[in-house]
């Protein structure tokens, strides 16, 4: 080892606390990056592995002339496999629990070429099963503790059919159990999926949907093939074309994954920026303190470039060590996050790899940060004139009255120690700016994370407590009539009852979008449409739809209803802002008018699968009891508890909250490391004058108060900037997640600002502690002896 | 020249009795002071001479209660310093001692006036501003009150340091190489200043130096070597600082 390298090693040991703080900040930043990027890659790979293994469809086409469409799709050179099937939503009953379910038609001769299932328990359908067997999705089986041999009752057109459960399966279409893009969040006791013989699904009811599903040969040409097949589907009369990215389960999983992907670069950059600042300040101080040594080395023949390399080496060493630690720890955490995620969501395949790319990027981050931070101090070291340094002359500092004293002249009459504190802020501008920036970065990290939590909580509250006012939804298995409404209204605990209807539609302006159209009474109390009543001569749509179809309020839009094979034109009469899902709404009266254009009667809004009963409870009722009583009513095929969906949403966000919690802790650590370093350097730079003041009677407490006050003022300066930038960062982050699935409006609680402020002040106080302890232990004699 | 009798009782400011100070332990232990016994009367100008490592700064630091003795006794007036805790020693320094060091160690962000006021406020602060101005005037810097250290010469900075040490009127002034960074003329003027405070305020002043020429202006000269006082002499006719030449 060269002498200079040995010097560097011993310097690291001598100032181990400070170097450790900087290295730890680098390590945390790279850990965050490696963990989230690895988890992102692992989860993407896990999903893709499952999708490949189970031949997940790249495209799903519903409605239109199925035969024509299938021929066109099969003939396309980019398509590897095609399959047609029937899908229908019907009421199901598991062990007295009534819920809404989906029947998906499957061939009994073997797995289909597209959209296969993973049999977890029991077996796949067999020809000998006839139309009496079903495979149930894992989520339902877990919730109701079902196993092969149990039964399920299904309400079809011909009446109620009892099916034997022969298998418990996972499907790539329902890794996340979502009914539609408008109903991403469903409860396991509110929605289920059964895979049944194709013949059973095809004959289950009038609202059955014929689908063509396709898998492509070459994933790299997906967009091109999507466009071709979409055109073919439209030519065949279909208006409902769903690419894989839009498939509800995949879309929900991808949203989550995208969040991880975004955070894997954004937040680590904050850490590395803070670490860079801390390293820069530390190395600047070291070069200043070692001027005499540098001059001596130069005078004795060590070249300027060697000096440059020596001091660059400090930064690069910190960067490499920190990055190395971060890569190792991050890889472990990333693998753990992957496992936790796939376990929690029941993803059948878990891919965990060591990604060389992650390690390389992490190392590059560390080296670049270290080199950038060390560059200016190293250049200064290189430029030290040997003669100047050996004379021990320190460049004269020009001082002046502080800016705040110039702005507020009466401050010049403060006691001298307060003026010393105020002017200490400008004494080393680099260090002061670094402290303020460290506070700002920490607050941005903490508040951006905390703001996301507040916003999501607010969105959930708005969606489930303000917008959606009904407590339960009943799905009739017979045509909805007044008798059912009256019976439900008469039950103790029911405050109000309304009829509603929901249809799958495609809305088109310049572009088309497949969604749900729900009809309410014009004076409905079951949903809030921005404080306005439903219009009588048009529809109201979610804000995201309006953007997607390129329409404006007052313009005509086309509605295609595949179930009745009709298209009508109406006006886009209004826009609503809803956090979850993007649907359209219409009054029952106007819906009847639209149907009448095609000689269709209002009774179509009451058929099973379309008609709904919305129920609002009285305060304080036993929800489980209400479920039993309402579900037991004749004519009720399924029961959906709106409150249970709220709980599912909270569960979905559990991992998100955990990740945010980690960000908050790491943000605090970053602030601590930065402030610890700047305090230590502050004290080291002034050891001579502090020792002299102590020799002349200043107590260690008084000296500590001066240094603490400086840090506190810098922290207070950083706080408003941090809060403002943190708010902007939170807004930017939440906006980046907006899609037709989610629409978030930033809503940070005032108490969160207070909490973040108090947290930073606490961290600032804790970060001062080691430095102040060192100051209390200042050896006055040794310091003054050294100076002499 | 005679050695002062350590048991002789007069109007003494500082008395040490078998004072020793050891740094480190075991094989690395260094005996910086060995069995030093002194009796220094009030109002004397004492110069401590000796080569590097002789223990002169250590002895100065003992008297100033910056360091604690390993053994022996050290009294300043009626106060026994050995055994005092940190708070008591700080209190002692605040009211009884003024320090002047070779490298001034002024606070660069405070003006001359404010550097002195910082110490003046430690005691009675209601007239700290006035006392600071008077202290600076006494050292010939009445027209430099609002200059920052970076705007002052080395000699002027040392004068500010002296004013800072004297603003609280300490009975004892301790100076460690006060002219070490100054040229001859400036050094003489600083020594002149120090000498005058002894005369005007009956202040016991200790000056540590390598420079044996400075010893000619002292009332008493202590020579140290290897932690011991090897010689103690009185100058019957101390020279004025202006007469010194080094």
Quickly list DSSP for A227-264: HHHHHHHHHTT--EEEEGGGSHHHHHHHHHHHHHHHHH
Q: Which stretches of chain B score pLDDT less than 50? A: 1-10
**Interface-testing mutation among A412, A689, A690, with chain B (most B C-beta atoms within 10 A):** A689
Distance from CA of B107 to the nearest CA of A (A): 6
* Rounded Cα–Cα distance for residues A156 and A375 (Å): 75
Q: Which residues of A touch B149 (CB under 8 A)?
A: 399
Distance from CA of B50 to the nearest CA of A (A): 15
* Rounded Cα–Cα distance for residues B107 and A763 (Å): 28
How many degrees, rounded to 5, is the angle at CA A355 between CA A353 and CA A356?
Answer: 145
* DSSP secondary structure code for residue A527 in this structure: B
Q: Which residues of B touch A784 (CB under 8 A)?
A: 61, 66, 99, 101, 105, 176
Distance from CA of A428 to the nearest CA of B (A): 11
Q: Which residues of A touch B93 (CB under 8 A)?
A: 694-697
Q: Which residues of B touch A713 (CB under 8 A)?
A: none
* Rounded Cα–Cα distance for residues B221 and B208 (Å): 10
Distance of CA B171 to the CA centre of its chain: 11
Inter-chain CB proximity A697 and B86 less than 8 Å: no
Distance from CA of B78 to the nearest CA of A (A): 19
Q: What pLDDT, on a 0 to 100 scale, did the predictor assign at position A743?
A: 85
Q: Are A730 and A455 in contact (CB under 8 A)?
A: yes
* Rounded Cα–Cα distance for residues A175 and A178 (Å): 9
Q: Which stretches of chain A score pLDDT less than 50? A: 788
* Rounded Cα–Cα distance for residues A271 and A262 (Å): 15
* Rounded Cα–Cα distance for residues A731 and A725 (Å): 10
Q: Are A177 and A137 in contact (CB under 8 A)?
A: yes
Nearest alpha-carbon partner for A384 in A308, A469, A451: A308
Distance from CA of B128 to the nearest CA of A (A): 9
Inter-chain CB proximity A697 and B119 less than 8 Å: yes
Inter-chain CB proximity B66 and A698 less than 8 Å: no
* Rounded Cα–Cα distance for residues A101 and B138 (Å): 98
Length, in residues, of chain B? 246
Distance from CA of A384 to the nearest CA of B (A): 21
Q: Which residues of B touch A396 (CB under 8 A)?
A: 150
Residue A400, CB half-sphere, CA atoms under 13 Å: how many?
Answer: 6
Distance from CA of B48 to the nearest CA of A (A): 15
- Tell me the pairing of strands A97-106 and A79-94: antiparallel
**Ramachandran angles phi, psi of A737, nearest 5°:** -90, -5
Q: Which residues of B touch A404 (CB under 8 A)?
A: none
Collapsed DSSP state (helix, strand, coil) of residue A58: coil
Rg (chain A; Cα; Å): 34
Inter-chain CB proximity A696 and B57 less than 8 Å: no
Inter-chain CB proximity B57 and A699 less than 8 Å: no
- The CATH number given to B6-105+170-243 is 3.40.50.300
Q: Are B142 and B72 in contact (CB under 8 A)?
A: no
Of A419, A424, A689, which is closest to B106 when you measure between CB atoms? A689
Q: What pLDDT, on a 0 to 100 scale, did the predictor assign at position A520?
A: 95
For A625, the token pair is: 């009891």
Inter-chain CB proximity B102 and A788 less than 8 Å: yes
H or E element: which one contains A265? helix A248-289
Of B93, B105, B107, which is closest to A697 when you measure between CB atoms? B93
A778: nearest CA in chain B?
B66
- Tell me the pairing of strands B30-41 and A472-476: unpaired
**Interface-testing mutation among B93, B109, B176, B177, with chain A (most A C-beta atoms within 10 A):** B109
- The model's pLDDT over A223-269, given as tens digits with 9 standing for 90+, comes to 999 999 999 998 998 878 999 999 999 998 888 788 778 878 888 88
Q: Are B116 and B164 in contact (CB under 8 A)?
A: yes
Residue keyed to tokens 């999705």: A137
Nearest alpha-carbon partner for A775 in A714, A715, A686: A686
Q: Are A538 and A574 in contact (CB under 8 A)?
A: yes
Nearest alpha-carbon partner for A37 in A324, A245, A267, A316: A267
* Rounded Cα–Cα distance for residues A29 and A392 (Å): 39
Distance from CA of A356 to the nearest CA of B (A): 51
ipTM more than 0.85?
no
Q: Are A748 and A451 in contact (CB under 8 A)?
A: yes
Q: Which residues of A touch B90 (CB under 8 A)?
A: 694, 697-700
DSSP E strand boundaries for A144-301 = 151-156, 159-170, 191-197, 209-216, 240-243
Inter-chain CB proximity B87 and A788 less than 8 Å: no
Nearest alpha-carbon partner for B58 in B78, B82, B34: B34
Q: Are A243 and A87 in contact (CB under 8 A)?
A: no
**Ramachandran angles phi, psi of A512, nearest 5°:** -115, 155
Residue keyed to tokens 């339902």: A140
Inter-chain CB proximity A398 and B67 less than 8 Å: no
Instruction: Assign 3-class secondary structure to chain B.
Output: CCCCCCCCCCCEEEEEEEEEEEECCHHHCEEEEEEEEEEEECCCEEEEECCCCCCHHHHHHHHCCCCCCCEEEEEECCEECCCCCHHHHHHHHHHHEEEECCCCCCCCCCCHHHHHHHHHCCCCCCCHHHHHHHHHHHCCCHHHCCCCHHHCCHHHHHHHHHHHHHCCCCCEEEEECCCCCCCHHHHHHHHHHHHHHHHHHCCEEEEEECCHHHHHHCCEEEEEECCEEEEEEECCCCCCHHHCCC
Inter-chain CB proximity B67 and A781 less than 8 Å: yes
Of B98, B103, B118, which is closest to A417 when you measure between CB atoms? B118
DSSP E strand boundaries for A258-303 = none
- Tell me the pairing of strands A133-137 and A59-62: unpaired
H or E element: which one contains A104? strand A97-106
Q: What pLDDT, on a 0 to 100 scale, did the predictor assign at position A390?
A: 60
Q: Which residues of B touch A696 (CB under 8 A)?
A: 93-94, 97-99, 119, 122, 164-165
For chains A and B, CB pairs below 8 A equal 118
Beta-carbon count within 10 A of A158 CB: 9
**Ramachandran angles phi, psi of A522, nearest 5°:** -60, -35
Q: Are A135 and A194 in contact (CB under 8 A)?
A: yes
* Rounded Cα–Cα distance for residues B122 and A699 (Å): 9
Of A399, A689, A698, which is closest to B150 when you measure between CB atoms? A399
Q: What pLDDT, on a 0 to 100 scale, did the predictor assign at position A482?
A: 92
Q: What pLDDT, on a 0 to 100 scale, did the predictor assign at position B20?
A: 95
Inter-chain CB proximity B94 and A697 less than 8 Å: yes
A787: nearest CA in chain B?
B103
Collapsed DSSP state (helix, strand, coil) of residue A537: coil
B122: nearest CA in chain A?
A698
Inter-chain CB proximity A700 and B117 less than 8 Å: no
Residue A374 makes CB contacts below 8 A (sequence gap 6+) with: A279, A280, A283, A311, A312, A313, A314, A315, A316
* Rounded Cα–Cα distance for residues B215 and B241 (Å): 10
Length, in residues, of chain A? 788
Q: What is the pTM of this model?
A: 0.81
* Rounded Cα–Cα distance for residues A153 and A138 (Å): 18
Inter-chain CB proximity A696 and B164 less than 8 Å: yes
Inter-chain CB proximity A420 and B107 less than 8 Å: yes
Distance from CA of A5 to the nearest CA of B (A): 28
Q: Which residues of B touch A424 (CB under 8 A)?
A: 109
Q: Kindly compute the dihedral angle of the four CA atoms of residues B15, B20, B23, B27, in this order, to the nearest 10 degrees.
A: 170
H or E element: which one contains A498? strand A494-508
Q: Which residues of B touch A416 (CB under 8 A)?
A: 110, 114-115, 117-118, 121, 128
Helix axes A687-695, A780-787, angle to 10 degrees: 120
* Rounded Cα–Cα distance for residues A536 and A552 (Å): 18
Distance of CA A10 to the CA centre of its chain: 44
Inter-chain CB proximity A693 and B118 less than 8 Å: yes
Distance from CA of A724 to the nearest CA of B (A): 32
Distance from CA of A419 to the nearest CA of B (A): 8
Inter-chain CB proximity B57 and A788 less than 8 Å: yes
- Tell me the pairing of strands A59-62 and A240-243: antiparallel
* Rounded Cα–Cα distance for residues A96 and A101 (Å): 14
Inter-chain CB proximity A697 and B90 less than 8 Å: yes
State whether the Cα torsion A193-A198-A200-A201 is positive or negative: positive
Residue B158 makes CB contacts below 8 A (sequence gap 6+) with: B100, B104, B178, B179, B181, B182, B186, B190
């Amino acid at each position: 080892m060269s002498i200079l390298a040995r010097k560097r090693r011993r310097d690291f040991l001598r100032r181990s606390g400070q170097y450790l703080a900087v290295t730890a900040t680098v390590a945390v930043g790279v850990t965050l990056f490696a963990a989230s990027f690895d988890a992102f890659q692992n989860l993407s790979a896990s999903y893709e592995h499952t999708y490949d293994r189970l031949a997940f469809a790249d495209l799903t086409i519903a409605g239109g002339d199925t035969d024509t469409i299938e021929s066109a799709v099969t003939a396309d050179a980019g398509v590897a496999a095609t399959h047609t099937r029937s899908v229908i939503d019907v009421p199901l009953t598991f062990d007295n629990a009534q819920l809404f379910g989906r029947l998906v038609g499957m061939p009994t001769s073997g797995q289909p070429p597209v959209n296969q299932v993973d049999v977890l328990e029991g077996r796949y359908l067999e020809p000998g099963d006839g139309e009496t067997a079903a495979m149930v999705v894992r989520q339902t089986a877990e919730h109701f503790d079902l196993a092969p041999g149990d039964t399920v009752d299904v309400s079809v057109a011909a009446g109620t059919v009892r099916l034997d459960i022969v298998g418990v399966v996972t499907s790539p279409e329902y890794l996340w159990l979502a009914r539609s893009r408008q109903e991403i969040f469903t409860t396991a006791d509110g929605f289920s999926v059964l895979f049944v013989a194709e013949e059973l699904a095809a004959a289950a009811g009038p609202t059955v949907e014929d689908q063509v599903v396709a898998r492509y040969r070459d994933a790299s040409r997906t967009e091109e093939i999507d466009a071709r097949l979409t055109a073919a589907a439209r030519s065949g009369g279909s208006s409902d074309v769903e690419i894989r990215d839009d498939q509800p389960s995949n879309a929900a999983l991808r949203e989550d994954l995208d969040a991880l992907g975004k955070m894997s670069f954004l937040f680590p950059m904050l850490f590395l920026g803070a670490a860079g600042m801390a390293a820069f300040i530390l190395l600047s101080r070291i070069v200043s303190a070692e001027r005499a040594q540098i001059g001596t080395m130069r005078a004795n023949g060590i070249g300027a470039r060697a000096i440059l390399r020596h001091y660059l080496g400090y930064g690069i060493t910190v960067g490499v060590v920190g990055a190395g630690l971060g890569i190792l720890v991050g890889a472990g955490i990333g693998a753990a996050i992957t496992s936790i995620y796939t376990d929690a969501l029941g993803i059948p395949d878990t891919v965990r790899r060591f990604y060389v790319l992650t390690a390389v990027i992490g190392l590059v981050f560390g080296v670049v940060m270290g080199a950038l931070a060390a560059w200016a101090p190293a250049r200064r070291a290189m430029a030290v004139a040997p003669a100047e340094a050996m004379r021990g002359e320190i460049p004269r500092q020009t001082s002046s009255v502080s800016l705040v004293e110039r702005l507020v002249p009466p401050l010049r009459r403060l006691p001298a120690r307060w003026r010393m504190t105020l002017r200490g802020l400008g004494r080393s501008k680099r260090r002061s700016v670094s402290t303020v920036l460290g506070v700002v970065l920490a607050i941005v990290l903490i508040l951006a994370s905390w703001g996301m939590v507040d916003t999501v909580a607010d969105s959930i509250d708005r969606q489930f407590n303000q917008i959606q006012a009904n407590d339960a939804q009943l799905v009739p298995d017979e045509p909805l009539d007044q008798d059912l409404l009256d019976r439900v209204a008469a039950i103790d605990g029911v405050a109000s009852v309304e009829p509603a209807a929901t249809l799958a539609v495609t809305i088109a302006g310049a572009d088309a979008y497949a969604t749900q159209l729900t009809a309410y009474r014009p004076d409905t109390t079951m949903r809030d449409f921005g404080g306005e009543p439903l219009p009588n001569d048009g529809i109201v749509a979610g804000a995201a739809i309006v953007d997607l179809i390129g329409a404006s309020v007052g313009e005509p839009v086309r509605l295609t209803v595949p179930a009745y094979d009709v298209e009508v034109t109406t006006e886009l009469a209004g826009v609503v802002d809803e956090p979850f899902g993007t649907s359209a709404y219409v009054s029952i009266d106007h819906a009847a008018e639209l149907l009448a254009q095609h000689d269709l009667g209002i009774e179509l809004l009451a058929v099973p699968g379309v008609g709904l009963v919305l129920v609002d409870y009285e305060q304080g009722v036993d929800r489980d009891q209400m479920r039993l009583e309402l579900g037991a009513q004749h004519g009720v095929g399924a029961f959906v508890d709106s409150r249970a969906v709220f709980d599912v949403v909270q569960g979905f966000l559990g991992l998100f909250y955990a990740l945010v919690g980690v960000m908050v802790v790491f943000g605090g650590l970053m602030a601590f490391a930065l402030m610890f370093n700047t305090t230590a350097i502050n004290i080291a730079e002034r050891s001579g004058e502090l020792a002299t003041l102590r020799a002349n009677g200043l107590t260690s407490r008084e000296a500590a108060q001066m240094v603490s006050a400086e840090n506190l003022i810098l922290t207070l300066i950083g706080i408003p900037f941090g809060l403002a930038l943190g708010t902007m960062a939170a807004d930017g982050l939440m906006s980046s997640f907006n899609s037709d699935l989610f629409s978030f409006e930033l809503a940070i609680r005032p108490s969160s600002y207070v909490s973040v402020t108090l947290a930073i002040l606490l961290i600032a106080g804790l970060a001062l502690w080691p430095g102040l302890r060192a100051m209390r232990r200042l050896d006055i004699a040794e310091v003054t002896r050294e100076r002499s | 020249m005679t050695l002062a009798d350590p048991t002789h009782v007069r109007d003494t400011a500082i008395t040490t009795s078998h004072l020793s100070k050891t740094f480190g332990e075991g094989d690395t232990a260094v005996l910086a002071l060995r069995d030093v016994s002194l009796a220094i009367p009030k109002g004397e100008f004492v110069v401590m001479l000796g080569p590097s490592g002789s223990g002169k700064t250590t002895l100065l630091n003992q008297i100033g209660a910056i360091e604690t003795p390993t053994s022996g006794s050290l009294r300043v007036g009626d106060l026994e310093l050995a055994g005092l805790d940190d708070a008591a020693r700080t209190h002692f320094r605040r009211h009884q001692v003024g320090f002047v060091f070779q490298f001034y160690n002024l606070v660069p962000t405070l003006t001359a006036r404010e550097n002195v006021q910082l110490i003046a406020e430690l005691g009675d602060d209601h007239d700290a501003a006035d006392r600071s101005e008077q202290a600076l005037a006494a050292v010939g810097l009445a027209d430099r009150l609002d200059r920052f250290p970076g705007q002052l010469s080395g000699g002027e900075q040392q004068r500010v340091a002296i004013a800072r040490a004297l603003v609280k009127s300490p009975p004892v002034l301790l100076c460690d190489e006060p002219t070490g960074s100054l040229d001859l003329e400036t050094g003489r003027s600083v020594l002149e200043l120090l000498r005058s405070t002894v005369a005007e305020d009956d202040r016991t002043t200790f000056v540590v130096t390598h420079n044996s020429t400075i010893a000619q202006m002292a009332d008493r000269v202590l020579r140290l070597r290897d932690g011991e006082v090897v010689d103690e002499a009185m100058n019957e006719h101390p020279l004025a600082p202006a007469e010194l030449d080094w």
